[in-house]
Structures are given as C-alpha cells and as structure tokens.
Amino acid sequence: MQSVELQLTQDQVSPDMAELVLTVLSASKTIAHKVRRGALAGVLGSAAQQNVQGETQKNLDVIANDILKEALLASPHVRSVASEEEDNVVAGNAQGGYVVAFDPLDGSSNIDINGQIGTIFTIYRAVDDAAADSPAQFAQQGRAQVCAGYVLYGPSTQLALTTGGPSRLYTLDTDGEYLLTQAELAIAVDCQEFSINLSNLRHWAPTTQAYIQGLQAGKDGARGKDFNMRWNGAMVGDVHRVLMRGGIFLYPANTQSKLHNGKLRLLYEANPMAMLVEKAGGKAVIGAQAILDVLPENLHQRVPVILGAANEVDAFLSAEGYA
Ligand code: AHG
Ligand code: MN
Ligand code: MN
Ligand code: MN
C-alpha cells in the first residue's frame, strides 16, 4: 500500500504544498494519539471559555487547535491561519505561499461519549495584496481551494484528501503512516439514505419540511422508494458515510431560529467538504448556489449545507423551487 507522501508526489503536488500537507497530517497524528487515550490523556470535558461563535469550548477543541496552530505557524509555507477556535486570522511567515483554515475538532458533542470526531482542513494560495493577519486572505471562493481534507478519529483513523484530483482515502497504520486504502471515492448519483437533525423540523422553511416529509413517506409516497436515516452529530462522520456508501446530508437554513443560515461554517466546514464531495462526483449547494461558488463575507460565516448524491441534491433543489 502506498504512503500519502508517495501519492502526493505521483499527483504532482508541488514540494512546498506536499510538505505543508504533511505538516497538517503530522499534527493530526498527535491529536489522534490523544483522542485514542481519551480520559487517560486528560483531554475530555469542557474548558472554561467560549469561542467567538458563543459555543462553550471543550478541552479537546482547545488542545487540537493549539496542536495544529503551533505546527502550522512553524511551517515556512504558511502565511496565515484561521480556525473555528480563533477569533481572528493569525499571521504566519510573511513569505509563505499558502493559507490554512481548519475546524480542529469537529463533532465536539461526541467527545465525551467516545463517538466519532474529526479535524477538517483546507488550503488556499496566499493573497499577495493583503496582510498576513487580514481576513482578506480567506475571502476566496471555495473553488480556489488547492487542497481539502478531513481526518476522522473513528474505530480507525482515516484521512480523506483531495489536492485538486480525485478524493482519496487513507488509513492511519499503527506505525504512524497514512496508507492509501481507496484511490478514488465515488458517490452514487441516487441514494436511499438521508442525514439531518430532524429535531429542527419546525424551524425549516415549509418547502424543506415538505421535502423531508417526502423522504419519510417512503415507497408509498411520491418519491416511490424507502429512505433510511442516520445522524451522527459530527459532520465528519456524516459526510464520511456519504462518501463511503452514498446518501444526502443536510444542515438547512433554520428560518425560525437564530441559526437562520444553518449551523455549519463556510470556511472550515462547508467548503472543504464540498470540494471532497464534488471531486467524488457528488453535489454540494446552499440552495440555488453551489457552496464552492459562494464569495465569503466574513471569517466565521455560516451557510446552509446540502450535499451528497447528485440526483438527490437535485430532488431537494426542485422541492425548494430552484430547478
Ligand atoms: P463543531 O463540533 O466543530 O462545533 O461542529 C459541530 C457541527 C457539525 O459537526 C455537526 O454536523 C453539527 O454541528 C451538529 O449539529 P446539531 O447539534 O444541531 O445536530
Ligand atoms: Mn464548535
Ligand atoms: Mn465542526
Ligand atoms: Mn469544531
């Protein structure tokens, strides 16, 4: 089996970017090690402070953030860093060619129940006419990503990664190497599984409620087939399932609550996942617009996320009156 290092070379990734990806992966191994030891490593429980979005941070949110930030700021290739757990953009090396954004620990509510959690990351080229600590470094469409990936700390630790080519899957071996275990991920165009937090139903637009009720109606309804439902509470786990066996994942606009743009963040959740999904043949939209075409307005901006099987995303769009 092929190492991620060799695969990056074969994919003709530039030496600088390959080195940067390996820096992210090295940090992820440190996080994976702490996650695996759990209570023994003293990483569970909540921290005292809140992040800029008003979420109470878990200890592991802070620990994972610090591990990634420290590793990236030590890299000569990193001009700027942005994170879910950082209020502002952090300046790195003024000569660095890339900027990196990450959700250090996705699925925080799963930490203390030993459930699936992960790290999501994305890399863009640095913007030369903006300062290294400027949000302008990240005011780029998701289409401009040069690399997107996540590490899922599940029963095995897995890495899904694209550097512009296919989305590939690697598994972390006991000797600390990520080895290629699936060369090209592919999401079937049709599906019979959906993933959504149904407890929010009353907050959704009537069209969104009707779409989901159509899935629940099963083969006796207008859709003419049964759908299964899964919700992990961690986007990494839910999107991973979609990449592995298909399906549609939705965190729609909550028109009746304060999360009127949904919950997920464009920069370090929606965009990297959208790139991985598109590179696997799926679709990822906020509504009429593809996620990757959204021009960011601010660093921690939230967007609705609907992604997965192409035909099912189209069925959602037509239910919403977009197609
Ligand atoms: P994070 O733990 O990084 O703050 O992200 C949590 C997100 C995402 O992983 C998941 O899809 C969603 O929150 C779950 O939201 P609900 O609690 O509304 O189900
Ligand atoms: Mn959070
Ligand atoms: Mn997250
Ligand atoms: Mn997080």
**For the chain, where do the domains classified as CATH 3.30.540.10 start and end?**
4-182
What is the DSSP code (8-state) at residue 291? Answer: G
Index of the ligand 1 atom closest to the CA of residue 109: 2
Instruction: Say yes or no: CB of residue 61 within 6 Å of ligand 1.
Output: no
Q: Which residues lie closer than 8 Å to 115 by C-beta, 6 or more apart?
A: 107, 232, 233, 234, 237
Short-list 319, 315, 241, CA closest to 280: 241
**For the chain, where do the domains classified as CATH 3.40.190.80 start and end?**
193-319
Contact 116, 154 (CB under 8 A): yes
* pLDDT for res 255: 84
* pLDDT for res 313: 98
Report pLDDT digits (tens) over 1-14: 899 999 999 999 99
> Averaged over 64-71, what is the pLDDT?
98
CA distances 280 to 80, 105, 116, 317, Å, are 28, 24, 22, 20
Q: Answer yes or no: is pLDDT of 151 > 80.
A: yes
Q: In this structure, which residue's CA is closest to atom 11 in ligand 1? A: 235
Report pLDDT digits (tens) over 195-226: 999 999 999 999 999 999 999 999 999 999 99
> Averaged over 254-270, what is the pLDDT?
90
How much of the chain exceeds pLDDT 90, in percent?
Answer: 93
Q: What CATH number belongs to 193-319? A: 3.40.190.80
Could you tell me the distance, in angstroms and rounded to a whole number, from the CA of residue 131 to the centre of ligand 1?
31
* SS3 (DSSP) at 111: helix
Could you tell me the distance, in angstroms and rounded to a whole number, from the CA of residue 117 to the centre of ligand 3?
9
Instruction: Say yes or no: CB of residue 292 within 6 Å of ligand 1.
Output: no
> Averaged over 65-85, what is the pLDDT?
98
| DSSP3 helix / strand / coil % (the chain, rounded to 5) | 35, 25, 40
Beta bridge pairs of residue 284? 307
ipTM of the complex: 0.98
* pLDDT for res 257: 75
* pLDDT for res 256: 75
Q: Answer yes or no: is pLDDT of 53 > 80.
A: yes
Q: Answer yes or no: is pLDDT of 278 > 80.
A: yes
> Has 103 been labeled as part of a binding site?
yes
* pLDDT for res 260: 86
Report pLDDT digits (tens) over 292-321: 999 999 999 999 999 999 999 999 999 999
What one-letter code names the amino acid at 174?
T
* pLDDT for res 259: 80
Domain 4-182 matching CATH 3.30.110.40: the answer reads no
Short-list 201, 271, 280, 205, CA closest to 247: 280
